[in-house]
Each structure stands twice: as structure tokens, then as C-alpha cells.
Amino acid sequence: MHPPHSLPVDGEPPETTPDERLGKVLTTRAIVLAGVVVVVVAGGTLSLLLALFGAGTPADQARLDVFRATGNVVLGAGGAVALLLAARRQRLGELELRRKEHELAQRERAQEHTERVAADNREHQLRLAEDARTDAAERRITELYTKAADQLGSEKTPIRLAGLYALERLAQNTPDQRQTIANLLCAYLRLPYTLPTRPRLPPWSSLRPVESPPDGTVQPGTGPSEQELEVRATAQRILADHLFPGDDPEVVRAEFWPGITLNLTGALLCHFDFRGCRVGNVRFGGARFAGWTRFEGVEFTGYAIFGGATFERSANFKGARFHGRALFRGAAFRNGVTFEHARFAGEALFGGLRTIDDEAHADGAVFGGTATFAEAAFDHGVVLDDALVTDGEAGHVWPPGWKPSADDQGGSWRFG
């Protein structure tokens, strides 16, 4: 029993395979029948030839040759038909092979599309998971940062110290937050601050405190206690520790924060110790350095602004390297300063004229105590015009070509 054929769609005949199409033209039954016909015709032809030309006369021989030639033509035609059939079968076989190859290619493309969609889905899921992790990490960082910043505003000293250390740990673990946290520490140090009264200062301190009232009591509102001084000293130590690359120039400390810039404009800095640090652009304009100040071996990779800063005790810039402009115009060194072996790759301005509202103003540094520039190197020269020296005979060492002259006002000395 043959399987039912699929019904035609829209009046079109159902699709058939090459073998089915070939079967309609030449079936096995038709081949057998054709063979029997050929045998019968051959037998009949042979009997007829024997009956007609069996006598062997010359005329019979001639007629036999004609029949032989005609038979050869018929056989040749039959061979040609057989060859055509074989060629057609070969063509149909090739078409079937091509169809199968086409179907295989379609299946492969479908498989590739399925795999590509699956890969895209996996990648999308991975991106979603990564975005979720990033969002969670950023939320956690924001929460930690906000909490630590809130702690800095606490009235209790231990909580403010805890906030500083939390910010330090956060910056160490998340490098992209280091500049933001450094900015916050600088902002804290820029907050208004008054030094403790004399009885509250530790014995080792070189700070100039606020004088005590005559009766020895501490009046409310005269300034924070030495506990706040410890908080500010901690903020300074955190910056100094993480801006120190290490003693070995070939090996950088893991705690080092590279590329940090500082803005401590107008800040009150107590016992400021930045020895060996490496920092980018710095702004200390108008800052007050109470107690000793140490910048030995500091590398300023950007500009360094100290204009209008006040150094109440000794200021040490020995071996410091200034890669950008060094601006000290209007700075006051009240108790001596040393720039021995310092290197100024950019302009070194300790005086000269500044244009303010289209008017020129003389703005020179003030040197009290002893100032030394022994073996300091200036790639672009140094400007000391209008700088004031309170004691011209104090054993100063000035840059080559510079020497102050006595001033008629108050016995001071002046450049230019």
C-alpha cells in the first residue's frame, strides 16, 4: 500500500523527488517489457532474413548488406537513446546531490544562527550581571564615602578620626576615588581653625599658640582643643604617607597614590612634614604653616603655588624638585628658609610685579632669619625683584647675580 501523497496547495502539483520523476518516465516494468519486445523483434527479424535471403545469391547478398547497414543505424540510434537516458539520470543525480547540499547548508546556517543567538543571550546576561555588580560596588562606595564624610562633621574627636581612617581605607582599595578623597581631606584642613592656648600645647610643639587669658582660664570660643589639632595632624599624615613613593626609586610602595593634586589654599597647617613626597599641582596660596615645615626632597611634578603663604618657623625645601612654575611671591619666611640643592625646572618667582585690575603691584617675598639657595639650580632663572630681607647680614646665600641692598625704611634690605 502506497503512502498517500500530500494534497496540492493553490492548485499546484505536489513536490516530487528526482527518483519519483525518473520513475514516471522509465519504470522497471517498462524496461522488462522493452527487453522482451527487443528480443521478439530480433528473433522475428532473424527469421525473416533467413527466409528472404537464405539462398545466397548475389542479389540476396546485396539486400542483406542493406539490411545490415540499416540494423547498424538502428543499433546506433538505440545506443544514443541509452546514452541520453544515462546522461539524464546523471543530471538528476547531480540535482539531488545539489538539493541535499543546499538543505545541509540551510541546516548549518540555522544551527549557526541558533548558536549565535544563544551566545548573544549569554553575553547579555553577563553584561547585566556585571552591571549589577558595578552598581552594587558603586552604591557601597557611595555609602562608605557618605558615612565617613558625615563622621568628619561629628563633634566627637574619636568619630572624626574614625572617619579619616575610613576614607583612607576606601581610597586605598578604590584608586578611582583617591583624588576625591584627597580633595575632601584638603577641604577639611581648609576649615577655619584656631590654635590651642599655651597650656594645652604639648611640650615638644614648636607652634605659636594663642596666648592664655591673664587669669589663666580658657575662655569659650578661643579655639578648638589639642584634640582637634590631633585630628588635623592625622589628616596631614594620611596625605603625606600616601604621597610618599618610597626610598627605592625602582620600587614604588603599594600605598602610594600617584598623580594626586592638592588645594590647601588658606589652610592652617601645623608641623607640616612632606619629606620625600611626590605630588602633582599644589596650591598653598595664603596658607599658614605653623611650626616647622619640611619639604626636603619633595618632587612637584606640576606647578607649586606658595604665593602669600606664611612660614612661621623654619621652612626646609632642601633638594626639592619643581618641574613646573614655583610661585613664592608675597610669601613670608619669618624664621629662615633653605632651598639648598633645590632644582627649579620652570620659573622661580620670589618677587616681581603682578597685574591686578590692569595695575602693576610689587609683590616680593619676605625673608626673615637666614635664607640659603646654595647650589640651587634654576633652568629658567629666578626673580627676586622687590623681595624684602629683614636682616641683610644674617649669612644668606642668594642665587648667582642677586644681592639685596640696604633699604632706608626700617633697616631692611631689598632686591631690585
pLDDT tens per residue across all 416 residues of the chain: 454 444 444 445 555 555 555 445 567 777 778 767 776 776 677 677 666 666 667 776 776 777 777 777 777 777 887 888 888 888 888 999 999 999 999 999 999 999 999 999 999 888 888 887 877 777 877 888 889 889 988 889 999 999 999 999 999 999 999 999 999 999 999 999 888 765 455 565 666 655 545 444 444 434 456 788 999 999 999 999 999 999 998 899 999 999 999 999 999 999 999 999 999 999 999 999 998 999 999 999 999 999 999 999 999 999 999 999 999 999 999 999 999 999 999 999 999 887 777 777 788 999 999 999 999 999 999 999 999 999 888 889 999 999 998 876 667 899 97
Cα distance between residue 222 and residue 210, in whole Å: 8
Residue 12 lies in a domain: no
Q: Verify that 238 and 334 share a domain, yes or no.
A: no
Position 10 in a domain:
no
**Are 165 and 287 contained in the same domain?**
no
Does 292 share its domain with 349? Answer: yes
What are the C-alpha distances in Å from 81 to residues 12, 32, 39, 88?
31, 16, 18, 10
Residue 116 domain-assigned?
no
Task: Give, in order, the Cα–Cα distances in Å from 19 to each of 24, 26, 49, 95.
Answer: 9, 10, 41, 11
Torsional sign, CA 202, 203, 206, 210? positive
Look at residues 74, 109, 144 and tell me which one is the last residue of a structural domain: 109
- Enclosing domain of residue 81: 19-55+63-109
Q: Distance between CA atoms of 82 and 79, rounded to whole angstroms?
A: 5
72 belongs to a structural domain: yes
In-domain check, residue 241? yes
- Which position has the grid cell 538528476? 92
- The reply to whether 117 falls in a domain is no
pLDDT score, position 289: 96
Q: What is the pTM of this model?
A: 0.67
CB 284 within 8 Å of CB 263? no
Q: Are residues 266 and 246 in the same domain?
A: no
Tell me how many degrees the CA angle 159-164-168 measures, rounded to the nearest 5.
Answer: 145
Domains in the chain, number: 3
- Residue 270 within a domain: yes
| Beta strands, E only, 188-283 | 262-263, 268-273, 278-279, 282-283
Q: Calculate the CA 49 to chain-centre distance.
A: 103
Hey, what long-range contacts does 315-322 have (CB within 8 A, 24 or more apart)?
315/289, 316/292, 317/342, 318/342, 320/295, 320/296, 321/345, 322/346, 322/348
93 plus 235 within the same structural domain: no
Amino acid 319: pLDDT: 97
The CA distance from 156 to 135, in Å, is 33
Residues 295 and 267 in one domain: yes
In this structure, are 244 and 265 located in the same domain?
A: no
Task: Kindly state whether residues 384 and 316 are assigned to the same domain.
Answer: yes
- Residues 265 and 412 reside in one and the same domain: yes
Residue at which a domain ends, from 75, 109, 143: 109
Q: Are residues 92 and 181 in the same domain?
A: no
Residue 354 lies in a domain: yes
149: Cβ contacts below 8 Å, ≥ 6 apart:
163, 167, 184
Determine the Cα–Cα distance for residues 68 and 61; give it in Å rounded to an integer.
10
Considering the domain architecture, whether residues 289 and 330 belong to the same structural domain is answered as: yes
CA distance 369 to 313: 10
Residues 281 and 314 in one domain: yes
pLDDT at 107 (0 to 100): 92
